[in-house]
Chain A
């Protein structure tokens, strides 16, 4: 059965690119365009990995990561979270890791690297 990857991202172009890339590798993508929707989806569905944009229209990615780690759903304390962002503020990577993300990737996302990072957490076979 395909692994579920939740991508929380408000930019439709990025969403489409990542969807195409991950589905081509046999992953199933769950989508959320806002932070709070992403938290809700992670709590209500089986999620094996989360890709998390930092600049979201409601709560930012740091807050999303903190809420996921503090969730009453036990699995979310350890689900891998990859922060994916083009943020332009000093210390982004540090803040993302402090908030509970496992890996920080900067945009533009190199698809081969994305595959490698995702595969390291949730192997396709």
Chain B
């Protein structure tokens, strides 16, 4: 803390401004509850090896932050800076992420017999996917903490996003990707100056190699949930949804789940908003986790009412973002689905491809396979009578189909 009386008025003013820019209070282990200082570099809890989550002074946010004032700020993820982890505004790396459109789907409503169906279309983020949000937060915070070299294992889009934000932040980037990662992801990463290593295996194999490299050479590992801040960027999807629905949450959110950062992040956002008093009521959405039937660890665990996932063997699906044999935050994903009275559902690659075409033809949205999987899941849930026709339902398209052209999906 800067001592009072030591420093100029402008220094003090900027100090106060910096103190209120973010209400980040500390980090807390999602497993054992141990607290950690946010001013230091952390990965995951060294005691119980669970992910760390950012905790904010929400009482102060309630007093100082006006949700309606936020609506008038410059568009983008960082307008929610009070509930984001960057302390000093100059450390924000902004490439235009956030404030993606929430589109109604009138033709699909008609085809499916629904009345309030939407898609949150994340393809308009920088680098064409929702990964931009998480990496914007993580790289900005890494820069703030003095990190110079970052490393990531990725099934594709996270690599491209990290490369872009690292380039903008002036950080060195190292990326491990499965060799069958879409060409666009490889090329965009290399274009942004990242060192790319193609791995003969899955993202779990890439994660192992990246972890070894990080430990051996001191690179900061930005793997999903192995640092605390990607989930903070992703959670803003939840804030944007609440704002778009006039501070009431939709009935159902159908979300593709690989690492689960977005699902866990949105649930965290809902909790935070409730504590800050921004929501008009306490109704929460039922969260639907969508996976591919060639890699469905969350679905299997959900059906067994388990707290953790078994490692999925022989994982395969065209939706590369869903090819995650076991998320490091599986217990958080499952907790949130259970708490929301939601469900988990697996869909076939054929259903994904069919839904991808349907979404494009009916509504003009060329979704990533992971996003198309949410439409495939919706159709299955309708068959199961799990939904009511008049419910407010939000699909998440996590990225642009244009990044997957080498799969020949169109």
Q: Known: A88-B209, A110-B331. Is A116-B204 also a contact (CB below 8 A)?
A: no
Contact A93–B311 (Cβ < 8 Å): yes
Contacts of B307 in A (CB 8 A): 112-113, 116
B212 at the binding interface (Cβ < 8 Å): yes
A1 at the binding interface (Cβ < 8 Å): no
B308 at the binding interface (Cβ < 8 Å): yes
Restricting to B113-147, which residues have a CB under 8 Å from any CB of A?
Answer: none
Contacts of A107 in B (CB 8 A): 211
Binding site secondary structure of chain B: loop
Q: Which of B48, B200, B207, B325 meets A111, CB within 8 Å?
A: B48
B47 at the binding interface (Cβ < 8 Å): yes
Contact B204–A106 (Cβ < 8 Å): yes
A108 at the binding interface (Cβ < 8 Å): yes
Restricting to B306-330, which residues have a CB under 8 Å from any CB of A?
Answer: 307-308, 310-311, 313-314, 325-326, 328
Q: Which of A86, A90, A106 meets B311, CB within 8 Å?
A: A106
Closest residue of chain B to A86 (Cβ to Cβ) is B208
B14 at the binding interface (Cβ < 8 Å): no
Contacts of A104 in B (CB 8 A): 310-311, 313
Chain A 1-45, CB-CB to B under 8 Å as 1, else 0, gives 000000000000000010001000000000000000000000000
Contacts of B207 in A (CB 8 A): 106
Q: Known: A88-B201, A94-B314. Is A111-B308 also a contact (CB below 8 A)?
A: no
Contact A106–B200 (Cβ < 8 Å): no
Q: Which of A92, A94, A110, A117 meets B31, CB within 8 Å?
A: A110
Closest residue of chain B to A113 (Cβ to Cβ) is B308
Specify which of A87, A88, A103, A108 lies most central, judged by the most chain B CB atoms within 10 Å of its CB: A88
Contact B31–A103 (Cβ < 8 Å): no
Chain B 208-229, CB-CB to A under 8 Å as 1, else 0, gives 1101100000000000001000
B291 to chain A, nearest CB (A): 17
Contact A113–B204 (Cβ < 8 Å): no
A17 to chain B, nearest CB (A): 8
- Complex CA gap A116/B212 in Å reads 27
Contacts of B311 in A (CB 8 A): 93, 104-106
B154 to chain A, nearest CB (A): 15
- Complex CA gap A86/B328 in Å reads 13
Closest residue of chain B to A90 (Cβ to Cβ) is B201
A64 to chain B, nearest CB (A): 19
Contact B308–A97 (Cβ < 8 Å): no
- Complex CA gap A88/B212 in Å reads 9
Binding site for B on A (CB under 8 A): 17, 21, 86-94, 97, 103-113, 116-117
Binding site for A on B (CB under 8 A): 31-32, 44, 47-50, 199-202, 204-209, 211-212, 226, 307-308, 310-311, 313-314, 325-326, 328, 331
Q: Provide 6 A-B residue pairs closer than 8 Å at the C-beta atoms, listed in order of the A residue.
A: A21-B48, A86-B211, A108-B49, A108-B226, A113-B308, A116-B308
